[in-house]
């Protein structure tokens, strides 16, 4: 059974950090690009960060550049999102997704390019 499972969300204060994990099962994540998306109340789904299948290319939305870092451990079939200096506006449900297509600087944030999605993990940042 193909599955992506996110973990690591929680409630933190402004300025603190969290590390999200996205673990794949039922398929080999090595061949897939991975993206992190978030959905906040009253807002549209937003691409947060993306990483190519080999990890050579990474992408970030402007609001998280310098604070978030995406990485992958293909041996563990897992992708991570390190989130530092969290802000209340980062509050959202965070989803990871896997795409068999090659990521591009434009396409990584388009959710229609992704084949598999996790169920999401809640991140809440208090002020």
Q: Residues near 75 by Cβ (< 8 Å), separated by ≥ 6? A: none
CA distance 44 to 64: 16
**Pick from 82, 77, 95, 96: nearest CA to 34:** 96
Query: Is 127 buried (19+), middle (13-18) or exposed (0-12) by CB count in 10 A?
Result: exposed
pLDDT tens digits for the chain (127 residues)? Answer: 999 999 999 999 999 999 999 999 999 998 999 999 999 999 999 999 999 998 889 999 999 999 999 999 989 999 999 999 999 999 999 999 999 988 888 889 999 999 999 999 999 999 9
Residue 108's φ and ψ, nearest 5 degrees, are -60, -30
């Amino acid at each position: 059974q193909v599955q992506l499972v996110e973990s690591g969300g929680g409630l933190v204060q402004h300025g603190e950090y969290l590390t999200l994990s996205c673990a794949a099962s039922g398929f080999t994540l090595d061949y897939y690009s991975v993206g992190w998306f978030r959905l906040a109340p009253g807002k549209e789904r937003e691409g947060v960060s993306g990483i190519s299948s080999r990890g050579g290319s990474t992408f970030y939305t402007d609001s998280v550049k310098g604070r978030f870092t995406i990485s992958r451990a293909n041996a563990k079939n897992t992708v991570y999102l390190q989130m530092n200096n969290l802000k209340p506006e980062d509050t959202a449900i965070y989803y990871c997704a896997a795409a068999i297509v090659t990521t591009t600087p434009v396409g990584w944030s388009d959710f229609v390019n992704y084949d598999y999605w996790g169920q999401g993990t809640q991140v809440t940042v208090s002020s």
